[in-house]
Amino acid sequence: MNVHKNKGPTNVLWSGDQQSMPPEVMAFLAGEDVRLDRALFVYDIQGTRAHLIGLAEIGIISDAELNQFKQALEDLQQVYASGEFVLDQRFEDGHSAIEFFLTEQLGALGKKAHTGRSRNDQVLTCLRLFMQDQLDELSDQVSGVIEQLFSMAEANQNTLMPGYTHLQRAMPNTVAVWLLGLAESLLDDLEHLNGLKKLLNSSPLGTAAGFGVPLPLARETSAAAMGFARVQINPVSTQNSRGKYELMVLHGLSYLLTDVRRFAWDLSLYMTSEFDFVGLQSSHTTGSSIMPNKNNPDVVELMRASVAVVDGAVAQVQSLLSLPGGYQRDLQLSKEPLIKGMQATREVIGLLPGLLGAVVFKKDHMRTAISPEMMATDQALHKVGQGQSFREAYLDSKQDHELVITPEDSIKSRVSLGGAANLGLELMKSRLEKLTA
């Protein structure tokens, strides 16, 4: 197979025979597209194949030519995966790399591949496929974390700990309730990701530069070839979704990592000697370069900080969208924050199962930290049960030192749904099953 080697000028799709642009201008226009398109290249190949299937249906290429294209694209995917074909600075972007490869392999036939297509709907298509694929994998990761939290909660239903408001001791709680707080938050995030996937499940291919094309493109056929449920109909709306859909996805990632950040904050506090509720195995801590006594929760702290990467990506894309309708070259800069934000999120969620497995609960310390005044609410409600109004009972309980309620009694009485004695775990499991069905 004749694989294009690292030689010659940058290949572009729009210049014809004129390549007089200064290299520094060309480099500025191309930016980081080639490097970033390495994350999108397989999806660009997939979109090209679907477009060619549609062209064959309307007679622009023959079935025999379609088979030649399919084989060439399969070859490209294989040599790209093996490293024999490198997406590098020879090319303006991944789109030009595909077209030049097809032309090199198929000659004049390769020049038909871009018929009825613009780089505008081409990049929209591969970004849409990328986001769908990444969200599918992220959802699987989140589901696995939720299941692990369920298991940990079941094992710690009777592990007592103080509950806090304003960082002050408030009422007795259990580790199970605390863990399920993260689990249900992640269920919300998973439902939001499912909604995003439903929105993204539409094909922009065939809208070209935002005006349609003077060909009866088989858009539904191309959409089905990529697994999309529907087509995105209006070409102006489709072009205006560039950046908008990326922003929606990044917001979803931010919500997810915000929940992780809060849990990481709790872990950071509970690991301090002032709390001393939780330990971490050495697999997830580091030492100090100067203090031999230190055992630092660096993994937890970097997880806590990772939402800043995603929020930075949100700000970057949002600032790009102060644009009129239609495609503007500014939108080229939406790729990097999307890819960076997705990579940061996938990394954090991928590390969570190992972190959770490394957590050691110091049960005696947590139980000892539950002080008598934390049962005041239980005392007040006990008086309510004897006929006193809550406000009177509230005031009396501040001064009543005779009624003794233990932390264990307090936990056993927490029978409202979601409380320590009625976790609602089966309801949460049922919700997870529906979200992952």
Question: What residues are labeled active site?
Answer: 166, 288
The residue among 237, 228, 221, 234 whose CA lies nearest residue 203 is 228
With contact defined as beta carbons under 8 Å apart, do 295 and 326 qualify? no
Q: From residue 357, give the alpha-carbon distance in Å to each of 85, 104, 180, 284.
A: 41, 52, 16, 10
Residue 193's contacts (CB-CB under 8 Å, 6 or more residues apart) are 135, 138, 139, 142, 252, 256
Residue 376: Cβ within 10 Å count: 17
Residue 288: Cβ within 10 Å count: 10
The residue among 264, 258, 265, 259 whose CA lies nearest residue 167 is 265
The residue among 349, 389, 375, 358 whose CA lies nearest residue 282 is 358
C-alpha–C-alpha distance, residues 116 and 148, integer Å:
49
With contact defined as beta carbons under 8 Å apart, do 190 and 437 qualify? no
Beta bridge mates, 165: 168
β-bridge pairing 202-203 and 230-231: parallel
Residue 88: Cβ within 10 Å count: 12
C-alpha–C-alpha distance, residues 354 and 88, integer Å:
36
